[in-house]
Structure 1
Amino acid sequence: MKKLSILLLVASAVAVLFSSCNKEYAEPTIAWTPYTLSSYVTIGDETTYNTTLEITANAEAGISTIEVYKYIYTGEDYTTVAVDGPTGYTDLTAFTWTLTTQNVETDFAGGVTSIVYEVAVTDASEVPQTTTKDYTFMVDEAYTVTMIIEDEDGTLITDATVTFDGSELTASPYEYEYVMPGTYTYTVEATGFESVNVTDFVMPSSDTTFTVTMLASLSAWSDTTLLALQGQQTWATYEGEAVTIYESAEIGVGFTYTDAGIGRITTTTGCEGWVVVADVSGFTTYSQIVDAYTNGTPVTQIDLNVDQRAYEEVYFVAKIGTEYKLVRYVLGHRSATTGNILGFTHKTKA
């Protein structure tokens, strides 16, 4: 629903950092309460024209100046109005004061499109550093954008971190009010999923709801699973450690045969098959290994080179029940005294 409103947008702080020849100080910071992305102001209701903010400035090198400016925009043109800033902060490393904006209805007449309050904090380092933060009241039509975050199965993700136009939400609902038509950036991050970064989202002249589908990340490579040749698991060792299994249901692999430097692996019970993958360098999401299996030709037997001099890695995707795993052959060992050993690591859904 359209709202003819005055929009308070809290812009992200922009810091200008100059390095000191003697000591590098952290750049000043500006924080305030209450923090909101927007404030809806109804024309005709004077109590909604302004906001009061408790602002805290921090400067490791000590505060040199705090200045407040008011810019009145008509399109791209603007005029500057002096605003009294606080006093009593010189050389302090932290200072808190209250800023109450001073807008009246006539301020927005005559084609005024926005009013910006800028707070600038400069520190006392040898090469001064300045941080600014803006508060913008805008006169225009504004809308609401709602983002629904879900995984590939359509399950809602309610604990993602969404940043839209610099404003962060860490839990659902992911709703941003009073958004102007235009082009925006947003990011979505959630544990176990690949981040989503969009730089060209176009906000239409209407309330908008859309869904962001998160792709599950792949885990890191697991520890190595060692398999002895079937029949040797009662006595085989590798680097002094006993290797007591010849098959692993976790990766769907059994070491069942060897001959002339070849180690033959076969699928275990519950493993549908494997699809050999030549290049996994671009694999970062679980859906990629699912697609590799779905689009490939599954096999149930592979002969691996276990001659240490001719060893080469082999990658394959195993389907075990409804789960998919990217398996890597990492080790082949032959010995008449310690047995025939194969080693594998794997990745799955993070």
Structure 2
Amino acid sequence: MPAYGYFLATEEFAPAELLEQARMAEQAGFEELWISDHYHPWNAAQGQSPFVWSVLGALAEAVSLPLGTAVTCPTVRTHPAVIAQAAATTAVMTGGRFRLGVGSGEALNEHIVGGPWPPAHVRLEMLEEAVQVMRNLFTGEEVNHRGTHYTVENARLYTVPDEPVPVDISGFGPKATALAARVGDGFITMSPDQSLVERYRKGGGGGKPVSGGLKVAYDQDRDAAARRANKLWGNQLLPGEMGQILPSPRHFEQLSPLITDEAAASSFPCGDDPDEHVAALRAFADAGFDHVYVGQIGPDQRGFFDFYRTKVLPRLRGDA
């Protein structure tokens, strides 16, 4: 049976709200926490985007649950040597409860420092080299590195955890999945795709953890839930590479008319039918996932946590 965690959305909530959600998640029986790492929200309606490492520092004291980023891009906006220091410090502060989830990023967040946005195959090359740099630094030894994409000179992390920070790699297609299988400590993907899980395990992932997540819109009014899901997270339903190449929230907003409330209702669990929510999370378990994270869309966080504590999590765990 997978472990069920809560997915904190930095794009949608301010730091104090994220901390309160984390506390409520722990009280409701969620076992783990994920948190997104963005510079921009996907659209103005989401309205937030705090610096994830500041929030993680507060979370380390606020809750006792394992924490992870889903996901950090350690390649363009921030040099991997800096991400390594942030991750190592977070792991120390949490007593080893932290996993670093990484991915190849989106132009939305990464292009802000200028320069071209690399094509996908180059982004994957950069990600692999970045993971190598970070792993070398996690040893606590001095690192000198001159690679294709990164240079590190006389760098040493003096504050490191007892064990190296696990690095989970995100992937949505065969090339990124192969990279995760080859060099990752775990695999992250956001749909219950059994074929990707099998590809990861056969490609070298073996028994390493596979994690996934989804958004839901709990509400007693299902139509209102679908409207909210579309307004705030309809970007997830855009086709192809749009999510990776569009450079600003307004560009996502320009495409929002392409997504209907009906499409959102068929893509996100909406409303207060426990069967719909349970089925969506069980799909990940059936596909072979070890960890499943769920995030509530919109402001009714307390209603969501009460609903999951009493009607969803017990069924997923076989208690009801």
> Normalised by the shorter chain, which TM-score bucket?
under 0.3
Q: TM-score, normalised by structure 1?
A: 0.21
- The one of the two structures with greater contact order (alpha-carbon pairs below 8 A, sep at least 6) is 2
Greater share of helix residues, 1 or 2?
Answer: 2
Rg: which structure is higher? 1
